[in-house]
Amino acid sequence: MKQFDVPINYRSPLITAVKQYRKQQDKLKKDGTPTLLDLGNMHIYLARHFGFCYGVENAIEIAFKTIENNPGKRIFLLSEMIHNPQVNADLVSMGVQFLQDTYGKQVISFDEITANDIVVIPAFGTTLAIEKLLAEKGIQTSNYNTTCPFVEKVWNRSEQIAEKGYSIVIHGKPQHEETRATFSHASACTPTIVVNDMAETIELAKFITGQRNASDFEEAFKGRYSEGFDINKHLIKFGVVNQTTQLATDTQAISDYLKSVMINKYQLTSETLDQHFADTRDTLCYATNDNQTAVTSMLDTPADLAIVIGGYNSSNTSHLVELCEAKLPTYFIDNPNKIISAQEIITCNWRTKEISTITNFLPINATPIKILITSGASCPDAVVEAVIKKLASVVGSDFHAFLQDHPF
């Protein structure tokens, strides 16, 4: 896989050594067990896979090279390039300006940018409407487009099944940048609708089967479907694609559920299934899948708590928190400063985004304290190492001695 030129301050000598060691020992990625970092009175179990993915490193490389190669030029990002506060803050400190916030609200008017400016497309991609607007302004974006190739894979899959007459159901968070971009590209090809979760999928199925009246559809899925979408026509033949950072198990469950609905409604067999339901292979990106699978394996390790590190508006990170939280006490932090002491930690609720301070988060009688750690696909490894250092500091572990003695 391609090696990217990422700022050294995002790298971690420790984490790089751990990942290289695991790769050498397990080249086929068959061993999902976590890596033990034995710090004496504290055992850290690092997930087998975590941190920067291909798409994120590609985006960071393009963004920083763009800044380096264009001194004196105004450089704008459509929105957060990736969902990591440190990376976005670094870009802002170098003069980059954001045109929109995470939810598409305009921060700087498009009227203020000109053909002389540079606009960087974030890793989530963007809508066809914005692509057209920029092109009409004479702004060339092809060299500054950081859209993740795995997001583009979903767009391509959508176009392929659209050409065969299928409508599209997108499993994604409706307000997320990636979902908005995927909806734009898919709906340009075929009737498209977005479902957020299984509950919405079940409601959609009721319209498919006639359990709910078609007249209720507009209100039930307001803002979630393409112009001219007809519930009586456009869900006779469809396929399911997803926002790449969703939980793989959720997307599979939604796809399987809708497939069963179509099989029952049309009395389909394996030979006739494709008459009403597209065979869309899982569109989840490899990194999301690896990270989620690694967390599932990590959770088999007996531990006192889990810490998940990443941006609070990061979809893939939130799902890692969701997985851990189902098994043991879990704390969602975006930097080491959220660990106040051995007694206090500031954590984020992945559902509500509410920030709260938790006391006595570390067990006082455990010897050693056992902590599971992972991070999202947009979290620098340097932040993970900094969190481990902070934990070592508050529990009195000798981190420097560990570095000298570790086998990596």
In CATH, the architecture of 54-144 is 3-Layer(aba) Sandwich (3.40)
Decide: 183 and 241 in contact? Cβ < 8 Å: no
253's tokens: 């469950």
Q: Decide if pLDDT at 280 tops 90.
A: no
Portion of the chain with pLDDT greater than 90, in percent? 89
Strands 344-348 and 192-195: unpaired
Q: Decide if pLDDT at 175 tops 80.
A: yes
pLDDT in tens, 226-242: 999 999 999 999 999 99
Spatial separation of the C-alpha atoms in residues 378 and 307, rounded to whole Å: 16
Q: Decide if pLDDT at 173 tops 80.
A: yes
Decide: 389 and 399 in contact? Cβ < 8 Å: yes
Average pLDDT over residues 216-220: 95
Which fold would CATH assign to domain 8-53+286-405?
A: Cobalt-precorrin-4 Transmethylase; domain 1 (3.40.1010)
pLDDT in tens, 317-355: 999 999 999 999 999 999 999 999 999 999 999 999 999
Least-confidence region, from 105-119, 205-219, 275-289, 357-371: 275-289
CB atoms under 10 Å from CB of 130, counted, come to 21
Sheet containing 118-120, strands listed edge to edge, beginning at the edge strand earlier in sequence: 97-98, 75-77, 118-120
Contacts 24+ apart (CB under 8 A), 347-350: 348/312, 350/312, 350/317, 350/318, 350/321, 350/322, 350/325
Residue 144 has a pLDDT of 96
Sheet containing 35-38, strands listed edge to edge, beginning at the edge strand earlier in sequence: 35-38, 42-46, 369-375, 305-309, 330-333
Decide: 158 and 193 in contact? Cβ < 8 Å: no
Which DSSP category does 105 fall into? -
Spatial separation of the C-alpha atoms in residues 193 and 181, rounded to whole Å: 13
Spatial separation of the C-alpha atoms in residues 271 and 89, rounded to whole Å: 53
Which DSSP category does 34 fall into? P
Flag whether the pTM goes above 0.95: no
Between 3.30.413.10, 1.10.150.120, 1.10.10.10, 3.40.1010.20, what CATH number should domain 151-275 receive?
3.40.1010.20
Q: How far is CA 23 from CA 35, 243, 270, in A?
A: 12, 28, 40
Query: Each residue of 272-307: b (16+ CB within 10 Å) or e?
Result: eeeebbbebeebbbebbebbbbbbbbbbeeebbbbb
Spatial separation of the C-alpha atoms in residues 221 and 315, rounded to whole Å: 22
Domain ranges for the chain, please list them: 8-53+286-405, 54-144, 151-275
399's tokens: 């981190």
Q: Decide if pLDDT at 146 tops 90.
A: yes
Q: Decide if pLDDT at 81 tops 90.
A: no
Helix (H) or strand (E) holding 356: strand 355-359
Strands 118-120 and 192-195: unpaired
Residue 408 has a pLDDT of 65
Active site residues: 178
Q: Decide if pLDDT at 1 tops 90.
A: no
